[in-house]
């Protein structure tokens, strides 16, 4: 996949360079329609390169990035370690088990999903 992306980038860059050469030659000949057309193609190539490289965002488009931190030595190995990890996350999410924060979060959950709270 990386090889394909690199190949595509190289091809678009090559097209852009060729369009720029055509535009330069057309300008020398004062062939303004040809120069304008070649510049338009070069602009299209630049836009495509920007999108392929992630440098341009389309209006209204959603851009997600996913990453994971995996530390094999730090992974819980048994149920006690799993529960301890859960407790750490709950403590972080509730300002160290602050009662008011727990009540606030419970209220949010009840409003969002009233049928799922017993």
Q: Give per-residue pLDDT as tens, 59-79.
A: 666 555 555 666 666 666 788
Name the least confident of 29-33, 53-57, 84-88, 97-101: 53-57
Non-local CB neighbours of 41 within 8 Å, separated by 6+ positions: 15, 19, 22
Contact between 74 and 54 under an 8 Å Cβ cutoff? The reply is no
Q: What are the residue boundaries of the structural domains of the chain, listed by start?
A: 2-52, 75-116
What's the pLDDT score for residue 81? 81
% of the chain residues with pLDDT over 70: 73
Residue range 3-22: mean pLDDT, rounded? 80
Residue range 1-7: mean pLDDT, rounded? 59
Q: How far apart are alpha carbons 53 and 91 in whole angstroms?
A: 40
Residue ranges of the alpha helices (H) in the chain?
2-28, 32-52, 79-93, 99-112
Burial (0-12, 13-18, 19+ Cβ within 10 Å), 38: buried
């Amino acid at each position: 996949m990386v090889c394909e992306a690199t190949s595509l980038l190289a091809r678009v860059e090559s097209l852009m360079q060729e369009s720029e050469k055509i535009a330069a030659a057309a300008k020398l000949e004062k062939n303004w329609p040809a120069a304008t057309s070649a510049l338009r193609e070069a602009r299209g190539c630049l836009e495509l390169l920007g999108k392929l490289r992630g440098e341009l965002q389309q209006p209204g488009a959603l851009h997600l990035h996913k990453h994971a931190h995996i530390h094999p030595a730090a992974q819980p190995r048994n149920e006690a370690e799993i529960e301890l990890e859960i407790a750490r996350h709950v403590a972080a999410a509730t300002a160290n088990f602050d009662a008011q924060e727990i009540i606030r979060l419970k209220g949010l959950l009840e409003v969002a999903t009233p049928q799922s709270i017993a």
